[in-house]
Amino acid sequence: MKRSNDISTCVYGALETYFHDLDGEKPAAVYNMVIKSVERPMLEVVLKQAGGNQTLAAEILGINRNTLRKKLVDYKLVA
């Protein structure tokens, strides 16, 4: 049984609302929209949990530190 605050439940609900609110308009680039909507806050929270330590944050995320660094720069979370 999923809890109401489960991430996938939140994303599902947000997408249902998105499609409902289109009101007949054609959706576009939904994949990129969802990834960007989820990825930035995930990076912010994990980096905060890691005390700003990018090596630890990358380890928590299960990605390479260089990949994390690129994403942080892309989202303008670091200079």
Query: Which pTM value belongs to this model?
Result: 0.81
Cα 24 from Cα 65, distance rounded (Å)? 42
Model pLDDT for residues 17-68, shown as the tens digit of each residue: 999 999 889 999 999 999 999 999 999 999 999 999 999 999 999 999 999 9
Fold classified for 7-74: Arc Repressor Mutant, subunit A (1.10.10)
Domain spans in the chain, listed from the N-terminal domain onward: 7-74
The DSSP code sequence of 6-72 is -HHHHHHHHHHHHHHHHTTPPP--HHHHHHHHHHHHHHHHHHHHTTT-HHHHHHHHTS-HHHHHHHH
Cα 79 from Cα 68, distance rounded (Å)? 13
